[in-house]
Structures are given as C-alpha cells and as structure tokens.
Structure 1
Amino acid sequence: MAASRGQNALQWYVAETLPRQEHVAIQNLKRQQFKSFCPRFRKVKRHGRRVETVLAPLFPGYVFVSFDRDRHPWRSIYGTRGVKRLAGIDSARPWPVPEAAMQQILSRCEDGVVTRMADSFEPGQQVRLINGPFAQKIASVESLDDKGRVLILLEILGHKRVLKVNEGSIMSCSAK
C-alpha cells in the first residue's frame, strides 16, 4: 500500500521543541535531511523606551516536519537536539497534520514569515491584536481599505476607540 501512495506519502507532522529551541530543532532536522518549517510573524517588542520588531514563532514550542512514515527513518527525530517529541497518541504513531490545514499555513507565508493571518476580514468580525501595545486585546473590524489596513474598534479604559492597524497585526478570534 505504501508504494502505491508514491509522492503523496510525504506528510507534515508536528514536533514539540524544548523551550525557545525552535531554531536549534530546525537546524538539526535539516542536518538529518528532514524538511522542516517554523512559521514566524513580525512582533513588536518594547523594553523601556526601546521598540524593535522581531521575528517570533507563530506556534512557540512547535515546528512542522515533513516525512513519509513508511520510508523515512523518522524515529531519529526523537533523538534530535532541540526536539522533545512528535505529537501523537504515542511515540509509535505520530499524528499527521491535515493537508488542508498545512496548505492554509503555507499559503500565508513568504520565506517562512506570515504575511497575512486570514484570507479577509469582514466589518463586525471579532479579531485579536497579535502585536503592539494592545496585543491579545479583542476588537471588532469597522472597515478595510485597499492597502491592507483595517480600522478596528477597541475598548480602552472603558472608552471605545477607532484604531488603524495593518492586516498582519490582527487575526480572527476563531483562529487560535
């Protein structure tokens, strides 16, 4: 059966990494000839008066690994520096990521960096800010323009304020 699947046998799996070791896991998986992927997004970090934009993992503590469970020596992943385990019922049966879900993630990335969190936003839709001083706050979409900016309505200290944010700074509340 495995031989008849051919190239479609390659599937994506989730590997849990050690804390803040995604880059170590990616490097060591690559050395073992595994294709891996850690989607990142631009995050604004503030420390005192200093503000900088950094690339942060979209799924902290996890990376995606592609392999054919029937043909590749995937059990070696358990001994890979930076990797804690593969997600699954047990170590003998890792769970593949549904192909449609993986395609959604890949289609939103350019060179491993998320360029858009959702296909489109609708007025009235609930969204979560993912970076900036109001990160993790819930807002509602007021309107969109053709340049990728979104007007959102956010409650701040008991008052509703309209803010203009980049489309990449928000995500749908249903996508967590």
Structure 2
Amino acid sequence: MAVNKKEWYLLYCKGKEELRALTNLENQGIDSFFPTMKIEKKVRNKLTCKDVVIFPNYLFVEIDKDTANFNSIRSTRGVIDFVKCGATYIKVPSGLVTELKVKQACRDKAENAVVAYNEGESVIIQDGPFKGIEAIYQCKDGLERSVLLINLIHNVTTMSIANAEIKSKSLC
C-alpha cells in the first residue's frame, strides 16, 4: 500500500516571477500552485480585468522530503529559496492549500458565469438579509457586486449587493 508522503512547502520567488517559477517547477514534475484573482482597473480611462497574485512572491510546492532534491528546487529560475524558520523548512497544512485551490476554482467558475443586467431592470434578491426584496439594477460595482435601488420603508436607497445574490425578475 503506497502512502502519500508529500507535503506542501512555501517558496519565496523573485518579484513578479511566480509564473516563471511555476512553469519551471512543473517542467521538473513538481506540483506547485499560487492563488490569483481578477480585479478591475481603470487604465487610460478604460476598464480592464487583470489577474493579480494574492500572495505576491510566494509559491506553494508539494514534494516528498525524502526523495525531493531541495537544491534543484532552490536553483530553479524565478525561485529565491524556501521559506524557513531557522534551518527548518516551513510546511504548509495541506488543508489550507486545498481550501485555496477550491476557492480559486469557485472564483474562476463564478467569473465565467456572470449574468449581465441592464440598467433599470427589475431584480429580486435571492440571498442574504434582504432575501425576497425587489430592487432595480443600477450598475456593476466591480467584478462580483452590483449597485441596486431598493425601496425600504418608503425610502429609496442604493446598495451594493453580490451578483450571486440577485436574479432577474423576468427569470422568476
């Protein structure tokens, strides 16, 4: 019976070279990962989406400490060294890396499934404290949120709500 003895370690990379290090490590057959997220930025008055590394200069690698060549990993292009505490390499809990990978996959899936609403369209809030309340879509507020007009106690209020929590009234 084969037991998986691989553990996750943290590497410190050269500035903005996480992708280069990841590519070179995968060419060596080493499983590596760094979480990213998309953010909207205004560049020259144009709104653009850009992938940004959540932990700049850091990369997670899964290796078997008994068989891995630490010197080879350390001398990989883009890598500076392992993160250490004294002389011991810092191990990252596998549950943490798994959770980061799951959240990354969910974020990527949610970004691909964005529903576009038109200004003035009636929507219904599907989740959260305002569940069931009808609102009017105003505009998007970043990648994951939208600005809605809500009538609460005879007072019209603008509110930013997560896109996952709203649904078009015409689809109900």
How high is the TM-score relative to the length of structure 2? Answer: 0.62
Alignment check: 8 A CA contact 1:108 1:115 kept: no
Distance 1:48 1:149, change over 3 A: closer
Letter in 2 for 1:46: K
CA distance in 1, matches of 2:131, 2:80: 43
CA distance in 2, matches of 1:150, 1:101: 30
Give how far 1:71 is off. 1.4
CA distance in 2, matches of 1:83, 1:34: 13
After TM superposition, the structure 1 = structure 2 runs for residues 1-176 of structure 1, keeping only pairs within 5 Å, are: 6-7=3-4, 9-90=5-86, 92-110=87-105, 143=129, 162-166=159-163
SS in structure 1 opposite 2:84?
A: coil
Name structure 1 gaps, 5 residues minimum: 117-141, 152-159, 168-176
What is the Cα-based RMSD across aligned positions, in Å?
Answer: 3.2
SS in structure 1 opposite 2:12?
A: strand
Letter in 2 for 1:47: V
Distance 1:144 1:94, change over 3 A: farther
CA distance in 2, matches of 1:110, 1:165: 18
Q: Which runs of 4+ in 1 moved over 2 A?
A: 113-116, 142-146, 148-151, 164-167
Q: Which structure has the larger Rg over C-alpha atoms?
A: 2
Structure 2 residue aligned with 1:129: none
**Identity, % of aligned positions:** 23
Alignment check: 8 A CA contact 2:145 2:160 kept: no
Question: In the comparison of the two structures, how many residue pairs are matched?
Answer: 128
